[in-house]
Structure 1
Amino acid sequence: MKDLIDIHPKASSFKIILDKVKHHAKQSMNDAFDYAKQKWDKSHKVPDFKVGDLVLVSTLSFNNIKGPKKLKDSYVGPFVIVALHGTNAVQVELGGELRINTPPFQNPTPLTVPPVEQNEDKKIKKVIKERRLRGKNQREYLVRYRNPVHEDEWLAESEIPDSDKLLRRFRHERRPQA
């Protein structure tokens, strides 16, 4: 700092103060993170379930337990673990009249998308709209294709095959009828 000639003494001392404040804030945040982690780790432990263990099950997902909600047990069981699904999720063998609303581990069938055939020619059905590009004296036309697989797209007049016929029909349809 002392090597720089142009800096005002108050500016250099202000920079030193800002650096100290930044260091103090960073240190305080790290201390707070460490304290929170220590408190969390003290009261929480990772469950170590194994297949065959007995566990209690929450009754929130059951729809067929009779009686008022207020008097229902919060947990029922014990039930035997059949399979593990991660660290906190297990599959249990429910016995008796207990049923769950929906299966907790749904395996949706993947959607099959029909393959798009690339060898089909793009034949234009009609022209839908026209627009003028800003700053250019050029028009583009929104064209719709006969095959519904292809999406509508904006093309210049030079890119449209049989443009004179299609554009004549487009302009005729837009003309107000008398």
Structure 2
Amino acid sequence: MGHMRKDRTKERVTSTAWWPQWEQELRKNAVEVELTEEFSRKHPVFPVSLVKPYFQTGEDRFPSRNMTYSPIDIVEVEYSPGPVKKIIKARKIRLNGKDQRQYLVRFKNQTEDKDKWLAEDAIPDGNLNLRIFRAFRRAKKSHK
């Protein structure tokens, strides 16, 4: 009777599942498998219900697996909202261990929510707009 039970288990294992490195049947519902080095810390005994069929993959079954794709060149488009209406504020921030002055710029035909903090060299017509901004600040301070 023990021999019959063993045959049924082996039948059950081979008919429902197959593992390429299946070592031995331990009990009616458990098998021991040989694990790859990647899973060497895992316990090698599994219930038969968890052992799934294993099919070797071939290039003919999955031809797109070995295809190499060339990376797509990403082109950054510089967004320019238009000419500067005025510079509103100035601030100093620390970037990469260096102090940098930035200016809050409002653009023509844009609302307040589109204002941007820009570095001095990133402001369109920066020299002219910065001279106007500084002159306005000096005049404002002298009237106080």
Q: TM-score category by the smaller chain? A: 0.3 to 0.5
Greater relative CO, 1 or 2 (CA 8 Å, sep 6+): 2
TM-score, length-normalised on structure 1?
0.30
More strand, by proportion = 2
